[in-house]
Structure 1
Amino acid sequence: MSRLPTVGQLIHQLQTLDPDRPALLAINPDWPFAHFIGRIVEGEGEGDNGPTVYIAEDGQHGYLPHPVCDTLGWHEESWAPGLHPAAEGDDPAPWYLDGQDAAYVVTELFHRPRWTAYDNDVEGVYTGPGGHLTVRCADNGWSFEARRTPGGEEVWHADFDTAVPPTAIKAFATVLLGPEPTV
């Protein structure tokens, strides 16, 4: 198949698969990840391509399993130095030492209904419903601020510098955003 398959070729490949299976994009920028499939749109192509169908990526799902990497020919020697997928049983190091520095591991938690997000190249600021929780992601790390009333006195504050792995910050945020604990 050419590097630029047609819609018909894509349909032909997909129709042989179980239609109830989830579909993800496999992307190998520096290390292999699975991504959610977003909108599919038709637009103008570049050069000789003419009108083209585009399948948008809609957020990271997680690491691509080693067997899938192998099938695609994406072998460990092609990954960025020191970075590797943490497939279950294949990674001898604990998950919190994986050395990830991708902010989206955490920020995907804050792209949800009723949250406001302000992202630029320097800082991301995410504010929870009602303005009670503000989360900041900057070059120097993460900051979580909780207030009883929007703009009111700070009740508690937590900072994480860049040495803290994003997966650990994501675990903290997941517990923080989860259901209220019962005691």
Structure 2
Amino acid sequence: MPHTELTVGDLIDLLSACDRGAPVRQAMNPFFPMAHRVERVVQATDETGLPVVYLAEGRDADTQLGHLPPEVAVELAWQSPVQAPPRRPRRSAGGK
């Protein structure tokens, strides 16, 4: 099955529905999902000479922001939804 890549036009279309003042972050590593701050956008050419755009994280120590929020990992299908176990009735002080 051929893999289609997101284009700059696709990204612009997706971002146009978002709050323009919201920070941009990258969700990385589906097996240990983390959030990273995006610092730069770089256009280059790939090994075949075609244009490609990279979203790059910064070099500062605080670029990795921590664990990805669980709801984002679920939305990306990187994790399954987790439900809290059902609550059991509490026992009274008398042991009944």
Q: CA deviation at 1:12?
A: 0.5
Q: Match of 1:22?
A: 23
Task: Name the SS for the 2:64 alignment partner.
Answer: strand
Q: Residues 3 and 52 from structure 1, CA distance in 2 versus in 1: closer, same or farther, beyond 3 angstroms?
A: same
State the Cα deviation string for residues 93-145 of structure 1 (Å, max 9, x = none).
xxxxxxxxxxxxxxxxxxxxxxxxxxxxxxxxxxxxxxxxxxxxxxxxxxxxx
Greater relative CO (CA pairs within 8 A, separation 6+): 2
Q: Shift in Å at residue 23 of structure 1?
A: 1.4
Instruction: Give runs of aligned pairs for residues 1-183 of structure 1, distance below 5 A.
Output: 3-28=4-29, 30-47=31-48, 50-58=50-58, 59-75=63-79
The ranges of structure 1 where at least 4 consecutive aligned residues each deviate by more than 2 angstroms after the TM superposition are none
Using the TM superposition, give the Cα deviation of residue 3 of structure 1 relative to its aligned residue in structure 2, in angstroms. Answer: 4.0
Report % sequence identity: 39
Gaps of at least 5 residues in structure 2 are 85-96
How far apart are residue 5 of structure 1 and its match? 1.3
**Number of corresponding residues:** 75
- Please give the root-mean-square deviation of Cα atoms over the aligned residues, in Å: 2.0
Contact 2:38 2:55 in 1 (8 A): yes
User: Which structure dedicates a bigger proportion of its chain to helix?
Assistant: 1
State how far apart, in whole Å, the 1-side matches of 2:77 and 2:55 are.
22
- Structure 1: runs of 5+ lacking an equivalent: 77-89, 91-183
**1:20, distance to aligned residue in structure 2 (A):** 1.2
TM-score normalised by length of structure 1: 0.37
What is the CA–CA distance in structure 1 between the aligned matches of 2:77 and 2:27, rounded to whole Å?
Answer: 12
Q: Residue 29 of structure 1: CA displacement?
A: 5.4
Q: Could you tell me whether the CA contact under 8 Å between 2:36 and 2:65 is conserved in 1?
A: yes
